[in-house]
Amino acid sequence: MTGPLVLYAGRGDAWPRYRDLLGEALAAHGVAARVTDRATHAQDVDYIVYAPNGPITDFRPFTRAKAVLSLWAGVEKVVDNPTLTQPLCRLVDPGLTQAMAEWVCAHVLRHHLDTDRFVTGQDGVWRDDFVPPLAGERRVGILGMGVLGQAAARALAGLGFRISGWSRTAKTRPGFDIAHGTDGLRRILEHSEILVLLLPATPETHHLLNARTLAQTRRGAVIVNPGRGTLIDDAALLAALDGGHVAHATLDVFAREPLPVDHPFWAHPRVTVTPHIAAATRPETAAQAIAENIARAQTGQPLLNRVDRDRGY
Ligand code: NAP
């Protein structure tokens, strides 16, 4: 009997690495799969390893596929695809999680310590009169306490920061104060000096930060967004920055990517743009996570990290 047919449908240039890594990871999980980037007959495919920048837009021909396994954590580009009837799983992988925790810590620490003051101040002036508060005196809010939000929270808490989180449903995690609902959001906005956005892009989270909610943020707050660009109303953020209510925005993700060259964020003195690099998918760890999920499905266990299509994440 032949093993399952796994179709790689991600970025073409990453195929050679995934071919080797997926093959090895599946074998290590005891799955004798055939991994290909080109299926002669779509109806023979058992699993689709998918990315939005790959070739598949129509899932209907894949009548036998048991799962579509996303190489991205965010699934907003595929979750509404009406041709998708197969179970969809988002990527949860230790490499991605670690990368996000590192990126968030780096940018929170930059603002916490006002590192720019010294990095850009190499002018012969000895500025030794600046003493930042210790992390324990700094309140950081994290909107989105899922896999990545919690990893960022743990890393920041390890440095001593005071963390508050916000999620859709009520939850408790030792060491963190996690709120939900509109009142919970307002409280976090009011007290956070640094606000980290790690929510998915869904209809509910669209422009969560808008003129009204930005006005609820603490004066002088810094916004750090590695979540999704649609979480923020750009015009409202620019107004809040120009009016001095928001001190700085560090943005990794944008409503339109690549961020258009004439977008005001690029030239704004209090905006830092990074090109959606907070947590890239590393084939080495992603292949392991995908192989584990295929191995589970092959042995009749439920798939991990299934997306709830109605919820949108
Ligand atoms: P996740 O585990 O699904 O967590 C999502 C969190 O957001 C959960 O805590 C969820 O609440 C909360 N949430 C969702 N809708 C909400 C709403 N309407 N109101 C309040 N809270 C809401 O996702 P993840 O793995 O942490 O990833 C988060 C996002 O990071 C991804 O969706 C993606 O957009 C982004 N991302 C960015 C990069 C990058 O390089 N910049 C890389 C990877 C991921 P519950 O806990 O109650 O469900």
DSSP 103-163: HHHHHHHHHHHTTHHHHS--SS-------PPPGGG-EEEEE--SHHHHHHHHHHHHTT-EE
CA R_g for the chain? 21
What pLDDT digit, counting tens, does each position of 153-201 carry?
A: 999 999 999 999 999 999 999 889 999 999 999 999 999 999 999 999 9
Residue in 34, 168, 206, 276 annotated catalytic: 276
Q: Is the CB–ligand 1 distance for residue 144 below 6 Å?
A: yes
Compute the residue count for the chain: 313
Instruction: Please confirm, yes or no, whether 219 is among the known catalytic residues.
Output: no
Q: Is the CB–ligand 1 distance for residue 165 below 6 Å?
A: no
Hey, whose CA ends up nearest to atom 23 of ligand 1?
146
What pLDDT digit, counting tens, does each position of 76-104 carry?
A: 999 999 999 999 999 999 999 999 999 99
Q: No. of H helices and E strands in the chain?
A: 9, 12
- How far is the C-alpha of 20 from the C-alpha of 284, rounded, in Å? 10
Q: Which atom of ligand 1 is nearest to the CA of 311?
A: 15
Instruction: Please confirm, yes or no, whether 245 is among the known catalytic residues.
Output: no
What are the φ/ψ torsions at residue 25 (nearest 5 degrees)?
-65, -40
Q: Is the entire prediction scored with pTM above 0.85?
A: yes
For 240, residues 6+ apart whose C-beta sits below 8 A from its C-beta are 211, 214, 215, 217, 246
Give me ligand 1 centre to Cα 200, in Å.
4
